[in-house]
């Protein structure tokens, strides 16, 4: 298709992605008792978007597009189940309440800004405790590679092991691609990585201001921005028409230059099976072959025992901590 058709398809793809933003009027998020995540929840919301996209691909396929002007009850059951998973209620499996509580376990109070690796660790812990439950969402494992390795490497052995029981896999890879912003030598590699079939985007942004980045075109990267405060919507608890889900999708395509993004980010990749994993690894190796210099992502078989050192994204967080005045 020509430019017009391509642009239309791109808009439909962006609009179909789940958009999680700040919300107000929430049940109190304990222990701080805050009733909104405005000002501190952007990384949690960005991670919800990345996980949401992985679950949509897992349950509905990469081709899923949100039908326009359809009532909530007429949407696929799997879609409704995924949206309910992220509902802003303490009992929803991947709610802001649950993620904030899991963040507490790694030493971050509700009301503090979290780095991408901390949020992903909190969400992985929730998933390991059965957040997806049964139904459409079961059969997806989460493998978070440790940022303290500092080697930006996907280890195939660990991925194969996670896939061995017949589960699909969401791979989360924290990387650091420069000192402050993404170094220009990595810009083309990050853009190419977003183009891989297995990519479900990355989370990151600027210090203390996170976004969910999904696609790139000509040195610009398109993202969904959580920094809009919307009132609480009781998803899945009755109510008719598109009002249930309309505020969880965005018609605005925002973009920024890749070189303006913070060097610490976390990639997400969805692999349905071992063939998908092989495709991901081949794609990464092709990018590294085509675009010389330091690799943004490396592929390894097994990690050497005793690997450690590297960096931790919370080193930056502490400089940028946004504490709510409670």
DSSP string covering 131-165: TT-SGGG-SEEEEE--GGG-S-EEEHHHHHHHHTT
pLDDT at residue 214, rounded to an integer? 97
211 catalytic per annotation: no
Buried b (16+ CB within 10 A) or exposed e, 178-205: beebbbeebbbbbbbbbebebbbbbbbb
Contact 128, 274 (CB under 8 A): no
pTM value surpassing 0.75: yes
Q: Give the other-Cβ count within 10 Å of 89's Cβ.
A: 18
CA distances from residue 221 to 113, 185, 203, 267, 277 in whole angstroms, order as listed: 23, 16, 12, 14, 25
pLDDT at residue 202, rounded to an integer? 97
Contact 15, 248 (CB under 8 A): no
Indicate the SS3 state at residue 74.
helix
Indicate the SS3 state at residue 227.
coil
120 catalytic per annotation: no
**Rounded CA separation 140/282 (Å):** 22
Contact 85, 92 (CB under 8 A): yes
pLDDT at residue 220, rounded to an integer? 93
Strand positions, DSSP E, 247-292: 254-257, 262-271
Active-site residue, from 225, 262, 313, 317:
225
Active-site residue, from 146, 149, 227, 307:
227
pLDDT at residue 137, rounded to an integer? 66
**Rounded CA separation 304/81 (Å):** 40
Per-residue pLDDT of the chain (326 residues; tens, 9 = 90+): 456 898 899 999 999 999 999 999 999 998 788 999 999 999 999 999 999 999 999 999 999 999 888 888 889 999 999 999 999 999 999 999 999 998 888 777 777 778 888 899 999 989 888 766 666 567 899 999 986 767 899 999 999 999 998 899 999 999 999 999 999 999 999 999 999 999 999 999 887 799 999 999 888 999 999 999 999 998 866 555 556 789 999 999 899 999 999 999 999 999 999 999 999 999 999 999 999 899 999 999 998 765 544 445 544 443 333 333 32
69 catalytic per annotation: no
**Token reading at 31:** 């222990």
């Amino acid at each position: 298709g020509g430019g017009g058709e391509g642009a239309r398809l791109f808009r439909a793809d962006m609009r179909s992605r789940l958009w999680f933003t700040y919300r107000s009027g929430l049940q109190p998020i304990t222990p701080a008792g805050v009733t909104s995540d405005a000002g501190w929840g952007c990384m949690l919301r960005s991670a919800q978007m990345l996980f949401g996209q992985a679950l949509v691909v897992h349950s509905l396929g990469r081709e899923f597009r949100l039908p326009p002007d359809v009532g909530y009850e007429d949407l696929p059951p799997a879609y409704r189940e995924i949206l309910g998973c992220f509902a802003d209620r303490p009992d929803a499996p991947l709610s802001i309440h649950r993620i904030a509580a899991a963040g507490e376990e790694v030493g971050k109070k509700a009301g503090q800004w979290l780095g991408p690796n901390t949020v992903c660790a909190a969400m992985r812990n929730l998933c390991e405790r059965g957040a997806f439950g049964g139904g459409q969402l079961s059969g997806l494992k989460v493998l978070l590679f440790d940022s303290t390795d500092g080697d930006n490497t996907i280890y195939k052995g660990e991925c194969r092991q996670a896939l061995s029981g017949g589960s699909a896999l969401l791979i989360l890879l924290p990387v650091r691609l420069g000192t402050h912003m993404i170094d220009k030598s990595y810009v083309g590699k990050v853009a190419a990585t977003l183009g891989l079939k297995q990519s479900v985007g990355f989370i990151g942004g600027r210090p203390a201001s996170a976004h969910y980045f999904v696609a790139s075109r000509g040195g610009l990267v398109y993202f969904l921005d959580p920094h809009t405060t919307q009132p609480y919507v009781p998803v899945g608890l009755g109510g008719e028409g598109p009002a249930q889900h309309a505020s969880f999708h965005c018609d605005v395509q925002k973009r920024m230059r890749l070189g303006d993004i913070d060097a610490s980010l976390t990639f997400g990749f969805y692999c349905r099976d071992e063939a998908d994993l092989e495709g991901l690894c081949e794609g990464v190796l092709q990018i590294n072959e085509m675009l010389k210099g330091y690799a943004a992502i490396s592929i390894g078989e097994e990690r050497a025992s005793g690997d450690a050192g590297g960096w931790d994204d919370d080193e930056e967080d502490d400089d940028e901590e946004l504490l709510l005045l409670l």
